[in-house]
Amino acid sequence: MANRDEGEANGCTFQWKIENVSQCWWLTTEQRIKSPAFVADLLEDTKWSLWFYPTNGEDFVGIYLHREEDCSGPDVIEVNYEFEFLGKDDSLISEETASDSFGKDEIFGASYFIERERIFITERETFLPEDTLTVQCTIWSKEEKPIRSKHLYAKTVFNVNRRYLVWRIDMFSTRRFALRNKLEDGLNDFDLVLNETLGLEKEMVIIMNSFDERIKYFSIKTSIIDSEGKKENCGMNEYFADDLEKGVLSYILNFPKKLMEYKSLYLPNDVLCLNCEFAFSTETVLYEFFGSGITSTELKNEDVRKEKSRNATVLTDDLKSMYNDGILSDTELRTSTQTFPAHKNILSARSPVFRRMFSNDMKEKSSGLVDITDLEEDTVHRMLLYVYTDSLEDLQYESASKLYEAADKYEIMPLKSKCSSFLKGSLSSTTACDALILADRHQDKDLESAVQDYILDHEEVFRSQEWMHFMDTNIKLAADIMYRKINPVKILPCNV
């Protein structure tokens, strides 16, 4: 058999990551998640997409290949295709190969690809690292599966809101009556009631006073923060649309059996520090991303790059674990509602402000406690997550603007730059004025100029209520904009 020209790609591999996929349990049997469409130029410029059904019947998930209706190429094309579910570091978990003839707007695939329970429950850590499902589909027209293929990749991110609450319970071991706490935000308003039960179990009842009807999924995860700042898991529970409509959710906390035996660790001064993490999502897709490249099983340089990427991933995971678990922490960041264990060396490496705190003769150096009551706990959590992992999660305009201010305060310049880029991409008639005030307050000329350009290019800003209020309260900034509007900068031609 003649040697294949290894320099020419002869197939198409499409990798699709669905982030926050566990939030999709609310989908009914008929509902699907559709990937961004992609064009396989090596298969006569045909256009395709993947369809994922999280609830394809009672017990299985389904994955399908769909040829788009607005598609180039012949009326019917016969292709081979292979579905793969990938785990951490793109390790293969499950695969299935088929061959079909696709007309335009036709779909084929695996109705019973894998048991739903394996993905979302029994083997969740394997299938959903970081709550991300990775689906890969390779398409080719020849009999042999291609060695080298054009690699396309896409990401779909479901919008997830997270809230954190630290509940300090005094006289925990002697209390015999219910306790009540409250959490309010723009989407939810609910009461937490902790009831006495037998043994080391306690029941938390969540009374939904009001919640956004778009919310289809709600979860709560609890842990005890011990005297060393480490977290001891007390369980997690998930609720879906039908549960939320009842208005009252019940959740059993399973405290560790050693709780009373090691009171000095878990109950210093008989105070229990209960950490509650809430997550809730609507059916909103936060964003989709698409890209392309070339991959080959025989490209050694690519193997080296993958190995470096894996090593970086392992390091990031280890640092994230240090942050989440508070392993060997030697300082604490304290907001008005929560305390975050941290490590002086890591904070000092990422922030000149923290480095000065811990290097000079300041109270933070001796006490090991940094008070940051001017920042919200969610902002501090996001800042620390970036400090340890160089990553950002679930940013929205409001959280990005608060994180921008925190990054500026602690001189974490890469984080400030990322937040600035996010804010520029999130400008609208309702956010532009606020972004301009933010840029002016922090003397960020680059961000200020970008916001001014946006406002001048979008007349609807001048007709908004936000602009009317902005003119009343920020006369100088509004005047600068109007001056540029009346006297636009003229670009003169260069003399060569």
DSSP assignment of 458-469: -GGGGGSHHHHH
Dihedral-angle region of residue 489 (phi above 0 means left; psi in -120 to 50 means alpha; beta otherwise): beta
What is the domain-level CATH number for residue 268? 2.60.210.10
Q: What is the residue-wise DSSP string for 34-91?
A: EPPPEEEGGGTTEEEEEEEETTSSSSEEEEEEEE-SS--S-SEEEEEEEEEEE-GGG-
What is the model's pLDDT at position 93? Answer: 92
- Contacts with 250 (C-beta within 8 Å, 6 or more apart), sequence order: 203, 204, 205, 206
Contact 273, 168 (CB under 8 A): yes
CB 462 within 8 A of CB 456: no
- Is residue 286 over pLDDT 60? no
The last residue of one of the domains, among 148, 170, 190, is 148
| C-alpha separations of 398 from 244, 378, 426, 430 in Å | 26, 11, 10, 12
Question: Is residue 250's pLDDT more than 60?
Answer: yes
255, 338: one domain: no
Residues 131 and 183 in one domain: no
pLDDT tens digits, one per residue of 169-207: 888 877 766 777 777 665 667 777 877 665 556 667 777
Structural domain containing residue 254: 161-284
pLDDT at 331: 87
Alpha helices in 210-299 (DSSP H): 241-246, 263-266
User: Are 148 and 95 a contacting pair, CB within 8 Å?
Assistant: no
**For position 347, which CATH number holds?**
3.30.710.10
pLDDT, one tens digit per residue, over 307-321 is 444 444 556 666 776
Q: What's the number of domains the chain is made of? A: 3
Per-residue model confidence (pLDDT) at position 187: 61
Q: What is the number of residues in the chain?
A: 496
Residue 121 lies in a domain: yes
- Nearest one of 152, 283, 303, 155 to 212, comparing CA atoms: 283
Quote the pTM value. Answer: 0.50
384 and 461: one domain? yes
Rg of the chain (C-alpha set): 27
Query: 437 pLDDT exceeds 80?
Result: yes
Amino acid at 471: M
Q: Give the integer Cα–Cα distance in Å for 466 and 473.
A: 11
Q: Based on the fold, state whether residues 363 and 438 are members of the same structural domain.
A: yes
Q: Is there a single domain that holds both residue 329 and residue 464?
A: yes
Contacts 24+ apart (CB under 8 A), 44-49: 44/72, 44/73, 44/74, 44/77, 45/72, 45/73, 46/71, 46/72, 46/73, 46/77, 46/102, 47/71, 47/72, 48/14, 48/139
Pairing of strands 369-371, 331-334: parallel
Strand partners, 184: 189
Q: What is the mean pLDDT of residues 105-114?
A: 91
CA angle centred on 462, ends 457 and 465, rounded to 5°: 135
Q: Is 208 found in the same domain as 98?
A: no
Q: Where are the beta strands (DSSP E) in 212-258?
A: 215-225, 231-240, 248-254
- Same-domain status, 458 and 419: yes
What was the pLDDT predicted at 102?
95
386 and 352 fall within a common domain: yes
Together in a domain, 139 and 259: no
Give the percent of the chain with pLDDT over 70: 79
The answer to whether the beta carbons of residues 433 and 462 sit under 8 Å apart is no
Q: What's the pLDDT at 2?
A: 38
